[in-house]
A = this chain, B = another copy of it.
Amino acid sequence: MTDTDTRLAVDGARLWASIMETARIGATARGGLNRLTLSDEDRRVRDWFCRACEQAGCTVTVDALGNIFARRRGRDDTLPPIAIGSHLDTQPQGGKYDGVIGVLAGLEVLRTLDALDHQTNAPIEVINWTNQEGSRFAPAMLASGVFAGVFDARYAYDRRDRDGRRFEDELVRIGYKGEAACGDRRLGAHFELHIEEGPILEAERRTIGIVTGVQGMRWYEVTVEGRDSHAGSTPMPMRRDALQAAARMFIAIGDVARAHGPYGVATVGMVECHPNSRNVVPGSVFFTIDLRHPEEDVLADMEAEVVWALRQAAGSLDMTFERVWNSPPVRFDEECVAAVRQAAAAHGYPSRDIVSGGGHDSAYIARVAPTTMIFVPCKDGLSHNEAEQVLQAHVVAGANVLLRAVLETDRRLRAG
């Protein structure tokens, strides 16, 4: 078998059928999924996945955080496995593809290798990471975080949902608290196929996004304090209108991001105006800022420019500015990225390098294993939404790239 082997492609119809079959578990009336972490629906899709992997001849292991590892033996089973991971849990009003295609494309890779009767040198493991979404138990990417040493297991176990139920109790309840310690296994590499959750690939008509890393992200909270006063009897020059100052800030924040294009982005997503009454000049405004850029230095520059612009926009009003979260950029493994690039080229798929704007399990796994991701377009860049749509051809293309990149990595590791 060579790179140009025409048989080196997954069975697209089978892959799509798996996606549609699992999409019945937690299906919503409007065509989406509600499959919250550690819910009964999560248990049912896990059961489905374990059975499918066992039928494909895999050994299934569950670790203490409920992460599922389905292992297909390699020629040298002492080598660390090449992993294909993503998540089967969804948002409460999520789509059918976010996370799901990454796990099921992994399963399809296993089935394809069986059909081709191809034995890899290293074992292949398909992984379902627990609680990527974080909608039920915050924070997101909890179990991949524990795996990578970002959180400890005790912290994860004690997370509670809105009804007060503990993560660990729910893990036991659905029967997915395994014996193996979480993080106690070395991975030779980790690949993740995912929808882009953004509009770039669709707009440029690229089938494959070669993901070179994850943006750095910083969150801020800002409060502008003016003075609330009567909307009728306070002349414009005598006002201390917190919303007018905040509006200048919103625009300045957008300007900072545009000045650091094309990668810099900045979002004011949440605004609270006080007292929020039609006939009262706003006395104070609270808002949030989300700043992202793939490079730490640029992100620091953007922060400094935002602070400067806000102070200028505040004028004589008081302002508090606080950084509440800092997630440094992740740069994916060069050889894994090269393997994806080569695979996309081998298939002739239109592709481009892209930086992930959102968080993924791969961002944490990159700390402990050579990692990268493959993106495919989603309609209008929409995700976390029941209306999420992905073309079958794009999912199949992504799975083909995944298959080739995994095999290329297997070859390279053996050669190395």
Which A residues have a C-beta under 8 Å from some C-beta of B?
A: 196-200, 203, 215, 217, 219, 227, 229-238, 241, 243-244, 246-248, 250-251, 254, 257-258, 261-262, 264-271, 273, 276-282, 288, 290, 292, 356-359, 380-384
Contacts and interface: CB of A to CB of B under 8 A. Distances in A.
A273 B270 contact: yes
Contacts of A266: 236
A196 B290 contact: no
A221 to B, nearest CB: 9
Given A269-B276, A279-B269, A262 B235 contact: yes
B200 A265 contact: no
B273 A271 contact: yes
B230 A357 contact: yes
A276 B217 CA distance: 18
**How often does this chain occur in the complex, in copies?**
2
Contact of A250 (B203, B243, B269): B243
23 contacts: A197-B232, A199-B233, A199-B235, A200-B233, A200-B235, A203-B238, A217-B232, A229-B382, A231-B267, A232-B292, A232-B357, A232-B358, A235-B262, A236-B254, A236-B257, A236-B261, A237-B261, A244-B254, A247-B250, A247-B251, A267-B278, A267-B280, A271-B273
Contacts of A359: 232
A386 to B, nearest CB: 14
A311 to B, nearest CB: 18
Given A276-B271, A290-B278, A244 B234 contact: no
B288 A238 contact: no
A200 B230 CA distance: 12
Contacts of A264: 236
A359 to B, nearest CB: 8
Contacts of A382: 229
Contacts of A281: 267, 269
Contact of A198 (B234, B241, B267): B234
A359 B233 CA distance: 10
B250 A244 contact: yes
A270 B243 CA distance: 9
Please provide the 8 A-B residue pairs with the shortest distance between their CB atoms, ordered closest to farther. A198-B233, A232-B357, A233-B357, A231-B267, A247-B250, A247-B247, A278-B288, A271-B273
A233 B197 contact: yes
A238 B267 CA distance: 13
Contacts of A267: 231, 241, 278-281
Given A243-B271, A277-B270, A236 B265 contact: yes
A174 to B, nearest CB: 28
Contacts of A356: 232-233
A90 to B, nearest CB: 16
Contacts of A203: 238
A113 B366 CA distance: 89
A288 B262 CA distance: 34
A265 B235 contact: yes
A282 B265 CA distance: 14
Given A200-B238, A234-B265, 4 more contacts: A198-B234, A229-B382, A244-B250, A247-B251
Contacts of A271: 243, 271, 273, 276
Contacts of A229: 198-199, 381-382
A237 B358 CA distance: 18
Given A269-B277, A279-B290, A383-B230, A251 B261 contact: no
